Amino acid sequence: MPPPPGLSALEDALRKDLERLEYPKRSWVLPRHTRDGRPVLDVLIIGGGQSGLTAAFGLLREKVTNLLVVDDGEQDLAGPWKTFARMHTLRTPKHLTGPDHNLPNLSFQSWFEAQYGEAAWTSLERIPKELWADFLGWYRRTLNIPVRCRSRAGALTWSAEDDCFHVPIEDLRTGATEVLFVRKVVLATGIDGSGRWEIPAIVANLPRELYVQTREDIDFEALRGRKVGVLGAGASAFDNASVALEHGAGEVHLFYRRKSLPCINPYRWAEFVGFLKHHADLPDADKWRFIHRIFEMGQLPPADTYRRACAFPQFHLHAQSPWLDAEVVDGQARITTPQRQYTFDKLIVGSGTVTDLSLRPELANVHADIALWKDRFTPPEGQSHADLLRHPYLGPGFELQEKQPGRAPHLRSIFNYTFGCLLSLGFGGASISGMKYSLPKLTAGVTRQLYLDDRDAFFRSLECFDEREFEP
């Protein structure tokens, strides 16, 4: 089916924009080969969602064309938007920019208006999550971003002889594995990209049929008439509680540690140039106090998310109710809180992610040498935070750092564009609101290394340059 006329016109305008802004247009990255002559990719981007796609386009605009994006999902199903995201709309304001790389014709607003008109944009409160996914699919196709779907990257292994990483890529359709040879790696693996989705140990000890994590496929229809316990007070916990209620769950009880739900969103405070652009420029002590305070304030469910769940009389909130124990009683899960015990047919865990680089399969062979915040910084008394201290201590371009200088210099060729960049660089990977300022830093970090690594070869090309512009 051909695109709507408005969208075709937008794509034509975007192509003209790119042509007019193409300077300098010549390819410049020097080709590399392994010792036995096999070609080396300049950049491998692991993760084909919003962060991976936008990072790839940023590099393509800088004429880094020998790159590939791999993602383990189906085409146009990368990220959560059409899989496990169960809210109705994005949390972020509709007018944000960033993935567009300051090209108005590449913005979501232009894409939306080209199909639905300016009046529809004016009346739109927030971006429906499915439309965001459709926009990212259009983004990938229109910009010809090379993405290999249903492909999972394994552990990165550095080869000093080849001066590059060996990266196994498994084809999830066939089970076959191919090894790619790669100079630079960008990790764009999302919110859990520096760890994994958390399931508390007391829950993990239960039979698997009694609990699910909000990241997983959930048979909500099977919860009809059932009693469901939800752990966590963030947006995803409320989203999953709402979907269970909308499918006819008999009761849904949501438990959280705090005395009351957060009702102030520090992310709204953070949406100004100073923080978004210059958090990375702060001294470490200031970086810590800002992000530690944001963590202290907590992440609230948006107002519409809260109202969606509370509209059901069978929804119950339990403050100051961490889960202290979980056991099986007559085929059900019995949960112990400081107040009392509850019995549920199903548990839904929405307690977020844990930061731990040792849990990332891509970093299995290198994580021991990666500098973490706990290796570089001691928090003030009373401000320690175990998860923050496990965040990677990143350089200004999102590059990993060595724990011990000189032991693993190749780590600088891995760029952590995941939620784990928060402490070092602020809102970057996995945060749409941070992309306007984080993407240029990431792109410059990669191109800087590609140039500096080959400075001697570039100098030799300068010495040999003899293209005459006139004959004296």
CATH of the domain at 61: 3.50.50.60
pLDDT at 119 over 90: yes
282 is a domain residue: no
315 is a domain residue: yes
Q: Is 448 helix (H, G, I), strand (E, B) or coil?
A: helix
| 244, two tokens | 């269970």
What pLDDT is attached to residue 2? 65
204 is a domain residue: yes
Rounded (5°) CA angle 194-369-434: 35
Give the model confidence (pLDDT) of 370-426 as tens digits: 999 999 999 999 999 999 999 999 999 999 999 999 999 999 999 999 999 999 999
What pLDDT is attached to residue 120? 97
Helix (H) or strand (E) holding 133: helix 129-142
pLDDT at 174 over 80: yes
Same domain for 249 and 388? Answer: no
**Alpha carbon distance 71, 186 (integer Å):** 12
175 is a domain residue: yes
pLDDT grade, residue 140 (50/70/90)? very high
94 is a domain residue: yes
Same domain for 139 and 72? Answer: yes
Rounded to an integer, the average pLDDT of 335-359 is 96
Same domain for 123 and 250? Answer: no
169, 178 in Cβ contact below 8 A? yes
Same domain for 364 and 428? Answer: yes
Same domain for 226 and 246? Answer: yes
The per-residue pLDDT of the chain, averaged, comes to: 95
Same domain for 42 and 62? Answer: yes
Same domain for 309 and 416? Answer: no
Give the model confidence (pLDDT) of 81-102 as tens digits: 999 899 999 988 899 999 999 9
State the residue range of the domain holding 336. 199-263+300-351
Mean pLDDT check: name the lowest of 184-193, 260-269, 378-387, 408-417: 260-269
Q: Is 323 helix (H, G, I), strand (E, B) or coil?
A: coil
410, 165 in Cβ contact below 8 A? yes
User: In the chain, pLDDT over 70 holds for what percent of residues?
Assistant: 100
**Alpha carbon distance 40, 453 (integer Å):** 15
Same domain for 185 and 214? Answer: no
pLDDT at 208 over 80: yes
Instruction: Return all residues near 245 (Cβ < 8 A) that are at least 6 apart.
Output: 252, 309, 312, 314, 315
**Alpha carbon distance 205, 235 (integer Å):** 25
Output the CA–CA distances (angstroms, integers) from residue 27 to 17, 362, 371, in the order listed. 19, 30, 34
What pLDDT is attached to residue 272? 94
276 is a domain residue: no
Of 351, 368, 393, which residue is a domain's last? Answer: 351
Q: Long-range contacts for 215-218 (Cβ within 8 Å, ≥24 apart)?
A: 215/84, 216/84, 217/84, 218/243, 218/348
Give the model confidence (pLDDT) of 150-159 as tens digits: 999 999 999 9
Rounded to an integer, the average pLDDT of 200-219 is 96
Give the model confidence (pLDDT) of 298-321 as tens digits: 888 889 999 999 999 999 999 999
How many domains does the chain contain in total?
Answer: 2
Of 351, 372, 391, which residue is a domain's last? Answer: 351
Same domain for 432 and 343? Answer: no
Same domain for 132 and 145? Answer: yes
Same domain for 13 and 143? Answer: yes
**pTM of this structure:** 0.96
pLDDT grade, residue 1 (50/70/90)? low
Same domain for 343 and 363? Answer: no
Of 291, 324, 351, which residue is a domain's last? Answer: 351
pLDDT at 279 over 90: yes
Give the model confidence (pLDDT) of 25-77 as tens digits: 999 999 999 999 999 999 999 999 999 999 999 999 999 999 999 999 999 88
Give the model confidence (pLDDT) of 431-453 as tens digits: 898 999 999 999 999 999 999 99
Neighbours of 410 (CB within 10 A): 17
292 is a domain residue: no
Rounded (5°) CA angle 91-93-96: 120
User: In the chain, pLDDT over 90 holds for what percent of residues?
Assistant: 90
Rounded to an integer, the average pLDDT of 118-144 is 96
339 is a domain residue: yes
